[in-house]
Amino acid sequence: MPKLQTRVGCYINYGPIGFFRTRLSTLSIPDILAESKALDDQARAIKFEAMRSVWYMRGGLSFSESMNLSWDERQLITDIVKENMDITKQSGLPFF
């Protein structure tokens, strides 16, 4: 019987800067707060795009499904929504 792995490690490498924890340990408190704010802003932007996709899909896509989409899939949906909005505006038909 194979031995089960008892510990799973997860490391995120931020390119040439190195591991995230190591990077934070070299920053000052104001820089850590600025980095935290930047990450919070990025997370909020991702959630906003997911919510916008859910709204435009009008029940065709749930929030959890939207959050599970890859970046490329989210971009494709955003492009399709923008294209359809432009077509609707040009045709003069009501969007809602």
Residue 96 tokens, joined: 């809602």
For the chain, domain boundaries: 15-91
pTM of the model: 0.64
Could you give the percent of the chain with pLDDT greater than 90?
Answer: 33
DSSP structure string for 11-59: --B-GGG-BHHHHHHTS-HHHHHHHHHHHHHHHHHHHHHHHHHHHHHTT
- The whole-angstrom separation of Cα 58 and Cα 31 is 41
State how far Cα 53 lies from the chain centre.
Answer: 12
Taking only the tens place, the pLDDT of each residue in 21-67 is 787 888 899 999 999 999 999 999 989 989 988 988 888 889 999 99
